[in-house]
Amino acid sequence: MLIKNARIVGRDEDFIGVVRIENGVLTDVARGTTSALEAEDWDGDYLLPGLVELHTDNLEKHLAPRPGVLWNVEAAFVIHDAQVAAAGITTVFDALAIGSRVDVGLRGRETQRKAAAALEHLSSQGLLRADHYLHLRCEVATSDVLEAFDELSDHPHLHLASVMDHTPGQRQWQDPAKWRQYQERNGKWTDEKMATALVELAEQQERFAHSHRRAIIERCNQLNVPVASHDDTLIEHVAEAADDGIAISEFPTTLEAARAAHERGLATVMGAPNVVRGGSHSGNVSALDLAKHSLLDILSSDYVPSSLMMATFELTRAAGWSLAKAVASVSITPAKAANLHDRGAIDVGLRADIVRISLAGAMPVPRATYSAGRRIA
């Protein structure tokens, strides 16, 4: 495949140039144009590296499209896969939350097992468009998180884990009222139910959180699986993560925590919907504020796959970033954080994961997505 008249977004700048792909690999990247008749003319459209998504809950939306409704797992995976590919995402870490809690998110060991099995089966059959990996989100303040982790620890696609504690009153849910509001999206809670839940969750945190966190990190070290911390709020949270050898801080909730993460060498991950909406739905620090303070390293689409590309271009307008810097936050930087060194940039020798982008006004529109040179959307 030979592409000409593409606005190539490189590591440091964008320029009009030519790209050649052979056997799924980028074999030539050059400025200027070509008269070769076989070249496909991109008419000045952007050519970006395929996006690398470290944390998306999008699969859960397809697994449970309505409260109380569990969809066919493989069907959910296929449509999730198509959606991320259409959004320009070529490498995706499917976040699977483990650790059972009543009335708190989509949990349940049977659903977790089925989702992991579907990922393995569909990938082995070549039925998925994007390159999929498994990200185990470990709710450490639960009784069964270790058993759930051990059931999935030999999964061939396991490549990332995160340790998280969503107990109300700290981290993401410093304000229990915000936590209640989030839980009530599927029906109102009584004050009695709220009070009971707060007591029970605090007891579980006291009993399980510390020991399970340590055990998960030790297991990941043995498996050589990178670990991320989650919702760091205090400087102490970041210090604990750094001392544990963690290199990624997912969704720090305060400017102080993000600054501490940078000082300790942790890469910060923030939600692309936070950038697009101009703020956090939980009332935490704005991703744009972190970007303006040079404390944002990686963007994640979190719960809206299309937000990743939208936020990339929004960073150039709202935070004054160059397009090359913004694109790095959704490509080469997350790829390196996940120890994937064969992708993430428009460089000779790397995988030909590329996306064609047109602009509709200020909005980026993915027109074609290629994974290892093969068109997938």
Where does the chain have alpha helices with state H?
58-63, 73-86, 109-124, 145-152, 176-183, 191-223, 235-243, 255-263, 272-277, 287-292, 307-318, 323-328, 332-337
Please give the mean pLDDT across all residues of the chain. 91
pLDDT digits (tens, 9 = 90+) for 251-272: 999 999 999 999 999 999 999 9
pTM across the whole model: 0.91
Alpha carbons within 13 A on the beta-carbon side of 237:
25
Please name the residue that has the structure tokens 């790397």: 350
Q: Assess contact for 6 and 19: CB atoms under 8 A.
A: yes
Strand, helix or coil at 65? coil
Pairing verdict, β 363-371 and 374-375: antiparallel
* Residue 302 DSSP code: B
Burial classification of residue 78, based on how many CB atoms lie within 10 Å of its CB (0-12 exposed, 13-18 middle, 19 or more buried): middle
Domains of the chain are: 50-344 (3.20.20.140)
* Residue 173 DSSP code: B
Distance CA 258, CA 273 (A): 18
- Which whole number is the average pLDDT over 154-174? 83
- Which whole number is the average pLDDT over 153-174? 83
Q: Assess contact for 162 and 99: CB atoms under 8 A.
A: no
Confidence of residue 105 (pLDDT cuts 50, 70, 90): very low
Nearest one of 13, 8, 10 to 45, comparing CA atoms: 8
- Which whole number is the average pLDDT over 215-243? 94
pLDDT value at position 169?
A: 60
Q: Is the pLDDT of residue 233 over 70?
A: yes
Strand, helix or coil at 190? coil
pLDDT digits (tens, 9 = 90+) for 271-282: 999 999 986 766
pLDDT digits (tens, 9 = 90+) for 275-306: 999 867 666 889 999 999 999 999 999 999 99
